[in-house]
Every structure is written in C-alpha cells, then in structure tokens.
C-alpha cells in the first residue's frame, strides 16, 4: 500500500482529482466573488439595459384575433425610429432640420464647424450642406465654400461607415466642390470595391435594386472621372466591372443609368470590349422614345468616341433635333457635341445642319471658350456648314486665346478641310504657333506628324491663306535631320 502511494502514477491521479474537485466544488474561489460584481449590468460602459426584441408575426393567420396588438414591422418600425430621433434630439439638444424652412445661417455654420460633427463625420453635415444649397445659394462666397469643403472632407474621413446612398451623396459633393485629393478618391474607390464584395456574398444587390443601381453607376462614373484628375490607379476597379457587370448589362433597368454606364465604359482607356456594342444596340433601340435630350446627347457623344455608328443613329439625331427646343440652357454646347459626333463618324443630317446654323448664329455670345470654338469650326466644316459670321466669331476666340492653347488643342485644324469663310488671320496664327512649338518642343513633331502638318501648310500657302515660308522650311529640315 505504501509503495502504491509513493508511485508517480498514483500521485498524478490524486493531484488531478484534487484540482477537479476544487473546480467543481460548491464553495470554490470563484463562488466567493459577490454576485453583484459578476452582474453583467455593471460594465465599464455603464448600466446595460437589454433591449426588447420585437418579433414579426404572420398577422394573416386565422388564430390572430386582434392583429393590432401584435408587432407590425411596416408601421411600428417607423414609430420606433421617430421616437428614437425625438429622444436623441432631447438628449443632445440638436435643432430640428426642416429642408422646407430656412434656419438661420449662423445656426447652420455652427453645426458645420462643431468639433463633434467634424470629428465623427456626422451625416448631419449632409443635411446642413443641403440647407445652404437650398436657401443660401447666393451667399456661397469663398469663405462659406471653404466651410462646406471642410465638412465634405470630414464626411470623406468616415465614408467607409456610411450606407450606399450616403456614399453616393458624399462623392457627388466631393466632385461638386472641387476636392481632388488623391487619398480621398482612392478611399472612395475602395468603398465601391467593398460593395462588390458584399454583392458577391449576397448581402446587397447593386443592379436589381432601384436606389443601389442609381448610386452604383453614379459612383463609378465619378470615380473614373476623378482618376483622370488625380491619377489614382483604377485597374482593379476596371477589371471588376468588366468581369462582373458587362456580362449582365441587360440587368440595368433604368435607361438613363444604362447610358451613364456606357459613358463610364468609354472613358476607360484600356476598354476594348468590341462585342458589347451589339448587345447594347439591341438594348437601346427600343428605348429611344424614353430618352431625354441629355441621354441622347450623351449617347451620340459616346458613339463618336468609339467610332461606332449603330443602326438607330439617324433616329437619335432626329430625336435630338425634335427635343432641343425644350432646352433652356447650354443649347449651343449640346449642339457642338452632336456636331462633333456627326463629324467624327462622317455622317450628315440636313435637319441638324439647319438647326445648328440657326441656333449657333443666334447665340454667338454664349460661345466664349476657345476649345468650344475649335470644335464648332472643325465640325461645322466637316458637316458642310459655311457661315461666315459663325466662323469669324469662333476664329477670334481662338486667336485671342492663342497663348493659352497647346499645340495638341490646335492639332485638329491641320486635319480638317477648312472652308474659305474662315478668316486668314487664323491660318497665320496657326503657322506661327507651329513654328514656336517646333523650337520649344521638337520631340512632339515625329516624322509622320511633321510631314502631315508641312503638307497642310504648303496647301494653305498655295491658297494664299498665309505667307510664312520659314515654318515650312524648318519642318522639312526637322524631318530630314531630326533622326525620327
């Protein structure tokens, strides 16, 4: 017996039994702790009040005699949210925001400069910005714009915590107030990719949900536009869109969203999906009557970018001609875009020519941009429109802004057959600009480009449109000795 007690195996079993007996004893060390100290109510966060959980019952069952006594999610959930908002306002002392009535500007600025809202990136800032835009748009001076931009930056710092609707609003405000911060737009791209993962895990639908579809396509369009301004890398986003959404593009139900989605695609430099256009043509052809003037203009511009003319192209132009009369603002700009489309695809439409010549001549004071003037000159020349008054006005815009235009901006003139109605002074300015650019930036003029421009300048000189011999001689010398 003594030997058994001294054996290591017996000692181990006894020590194990002792530990187990102490652990499960009715009066162990754990049970000596007072019950009040173990109560989960008393935590570091304060007294915890367990929330009552409401259960949604099927109130159509025959055994439900008094359905009004049961929880009805459609009605009672709204009441719960309203009660919660009322308690929160009472607890935190917020002013109620009514977008139909204007609060004082001091109260709004007080909210937008409050440390709490800026640190938290509170969604209340969105309501404050909406108030300013609705009631104090005329007072949006430089100082007030800075306050709004600071609030938008605060919202972007917490964009990953917002729902998809608020994310769409924040991205819209970021672009509207000219915030081209690379970090901000890269975070917006990552948030959009997060929604792709959620759709993959079936916790959200992007294309089969009306609100989500609008926000998804709007966010995609703005992020791709911002990538050109900020230089953020969107290769991963483009790959996801091509793999995930192009095969089911027919799921986009809203016509305006479909047009905007196509416009986003063609803005991608690496987009080479040529087979998608046949599918899009079948989707868009029955929806021409549903399109507004903005959709028609965007779609015509899209097809000019990809150099593809669908079977219903003429119907789009005719719809534009019929609907342009209802547009009050920026009519000339829309006409310029359609003229560019027709010129790029080498198509002519007599009804559009008559409309374009009449409207542009009547609104010449609206044409102040030299780039727009260049578009009108080149595209009207390609369409066969010969209006001396229009060409003189647009040529003067280009001549007055010649120092602000790069040679790339003026390139289109050398590849267009310009009519006699264009003033000779424009040809002289173009020849002088080529000569100065050849001296300051000779690498731009490769052999093929230099030959083409030299041939055009030779032709202009033969037509007595300019008398600059030296630029032609320098171009030919550049072709011979530059090593290109």
In the chain, what are the domain boundaries?
Answer: 2-47, 100-157, 178-273, 435-484
Angle at 406 between CA 483 and CA 384, to 5 degrees: 100
d(C-alpha 423, C-alpha 377), whole Å: 11
65 — phi, psi (to 5°)? -85, -40
Answer whether residue 287 shows pLDDT above 80: yes
Q: Which of 5-9, 127-131, 185-189 has the lowest mean pLDDT?
A: 5-9
Pick the closest to residue 349 from 397, 316, 307, 308 (CA basis).
316
Neighbouring residues of 64: CB distance < 8 A, sequence distance ≥ 6: 57, 58, 70
**pTM score:** 0.70
> Can you say how many angstroms the Cα of residue 243 is from the centroid of all Cα atoms in its chain?
20
Q: Which of 15-24, 30-39, 262-271 has the lowest mean pLDDT?
A: 15-24
Residues 51, 56, 57, 58, Cα dihedral to 10° = 180
Cα separation values, 482 from 176, 394, 406, Å: 46, 35, 22
d(C-alpha 52, C-alpha 67), whole Å: 20
Any idea which residue has 């162990």 for tokens?
28
Q: Which long-range contacts (CB under 8 A, 24 or more apart) does 278-283 make?
A: 279/249, 279/250, 280/249, 281/310, 281/311, 281/312, 283/249, 283/250, 283/258
pLDDT reported for residue 216? 92
Residue 204 banded pLDDT, cuts 50, 70, 90: confident
Give the pLDDT confidence of 362-402 residue by residue, as tens digits.
888 888 888 888 888 888 888 888 888 998 999 898 888 88
pLDDT, averaged across the chain:
82
Pick the closest to residue 169 from 120, 133, 130, 117 (CA basis).
130
Answer whether residue 484 shows pLDDT above 50: no
- Are 335 and 368 a contacting pair, CB within 8 Å? no
Residue 478 banded pLDDT, cuts 50, 70, 90: confident
Give the pLDDT confidence of 225-240 residue by residue, as tens digits.
999 889 899 989 988 8
pLDDT reported for residue 232? 92
pLDDT reported for residue 360? 86
Give the pLDDT confidence of 257-266 residue by residue, as tens digits.
888 888 888 8
pLDDT reported for residue 44? 57
Mean pLDDT of 131-145: 82
Percent of the chain having pLDDT more than 70? 86
Instruction: Find the helix packing angle between 164-176 and 124-135, rounded to 10°.
Output: 50
């Amino acid at each position: 017996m003594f030997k058994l007690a001294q054996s290591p195996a017996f000692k181990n079993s006894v020590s194990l039994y002792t530990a187990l007996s102490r652990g499960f004893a009715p009066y162990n060390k754990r049970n000596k702790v007072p019950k009040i100290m173990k109560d989960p109510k008393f935590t570091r966060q304060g007294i915890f009040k367990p929330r009552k959980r409401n259960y949604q019952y099927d109130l159509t069952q025959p055994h439900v005699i008094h359905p009004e006594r049961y929880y009805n999610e459609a009605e009672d959930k709204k009441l719960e949210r309203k009660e919660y908002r009322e308690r929160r306002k009472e607890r935190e002392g917020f002013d109620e925001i009514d977008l139909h009535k204007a609060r004082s500007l001091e109260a709004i600025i007080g909210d937008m400069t409050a440390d709490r809202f800026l640190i938290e990136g509170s969604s209340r800032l969105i309501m404050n910005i909406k108030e300013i835009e609705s009631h104090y748009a005329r007072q949006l001076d430089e100082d007030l714009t800075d306050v709004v931009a600071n609030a938008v930056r605060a919202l972007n710092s917490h964009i990953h915590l917002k729902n998809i609707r608020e994310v769409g609003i924040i991205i819209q405000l970021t672009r509207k107030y000219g915030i081209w911060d690379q970090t901000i737009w890269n975070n917006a791209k990552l948030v959009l990719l997060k929604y792709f993962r959620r759709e993959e895990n079936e916790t959200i639908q992007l294309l089969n949900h009306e609100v989500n579809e609008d926000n998804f396509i709007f966010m995609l369009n703005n992020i791709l536009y911002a990538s050109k301004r900020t230089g953020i890398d969107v290769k991963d986003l483009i790959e996801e869109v091509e793999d995930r959404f192009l095969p089911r593009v027919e799921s986009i139900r809203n016509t305006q969203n479909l047009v905007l989605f196509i416009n986003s695609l063609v803005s991608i430099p690496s987009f080479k999906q040529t087979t998608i256009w046949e599918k899009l043509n079948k989707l868009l052809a029955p929806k021409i009557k549903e399109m507004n003037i903005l959709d028609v203009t965007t779609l015509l511009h899209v097809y000019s970018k990809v150099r593809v003319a669908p079977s219903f192209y003429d119907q789009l132009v005719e719809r534009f001609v019929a609907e342009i009369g209802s547009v009050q603002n920026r009519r000339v700009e829309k006409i310029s875009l359609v003229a560019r489309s027709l010129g790029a695809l080498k198509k002519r439409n007599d009804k559009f020519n008559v409309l374009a010549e009449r409207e542009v001549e009547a609104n010449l004071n609206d044409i102040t941009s030299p780039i727009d003037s260049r578009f009108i000159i080149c595209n009207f020349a390609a369409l066969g429109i010969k209006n001396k008054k229009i060409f003189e006005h647009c040529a003067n815009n280009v001549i007055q802004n010649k120092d602000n235009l790069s040679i790339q901006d003026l390139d289109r003139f050398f590849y267009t057959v310009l009519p006699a109605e264009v003033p000779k002074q424009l040809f002289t300015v173009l020849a002088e600009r080529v000569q100065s650019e050849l001296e300051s930036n000779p690498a731009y003029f490769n052999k093929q480009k230099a030959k083409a421009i030299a041939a055009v300048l030779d032709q202009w000189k033969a037509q007595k449109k300019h008398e600059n011999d030296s630029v032609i001689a320098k171009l030919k010398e550049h072709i011979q000795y530059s090593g290109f």
